Amino acid sequence: MITYDRDKCIRCGTCLDVCPQLTIDWGTDGIPIQSRPHDCMECGACAMNCPAAAVHVEAGVGCFGALVNETLFGKKDGCG
């Protein structure tokens, strides 16, 4: 899951541009939102490329987390 610090976000759109899964869109208030969290690979590209350090990625809740849980623990959480 991706969260945004609304006070830090400068609305540059970098997070949208670098997301390989296209899971981020513009919110109605001009702050990016993760519109398709189940498709997120949790690669961290959005957070690493944010010039304002306004993006935080919570690992273990998206597609990548589901694949790891299935592989290591046999949990069928689904992925996209």
Q: Give per-residue pLDDT as tens, 5-63.
A: 999 999 999 999 999 999 999 999 999 999 988 888 888 999 999 999 999 987 765 56
User: Which uninterrupted H or E stretch holds 16?
Assistant: helix 14-18
| 79 in any annotated domain | no
- The contacts of residue 16 (CB under 8 Å, 6+ apart) are 24, 25, 26, 32
pLDDT for residue 32: 94
What is the C-alpha end-to-end distance of the chain, expressed in Å?
14
- Could you tell me which of 57, 55, 47 has the C-alpha nearest to residue 8? 55
Question: Residue 40's domain spans which residues?
Answer: 2-73
How many domains does the chain divide into?
A: 1
pTM across the whole model: 0.72
- Residue found under tokens 């670098």: 18
- 64 domain residue, yes or no: yes
Q: How confident is the model at residue 76 (pLDDT cuts 50, 70, 90)?
A: low
15 is a domain residue: yes
Give the per-residue pLDDT at 8: 97
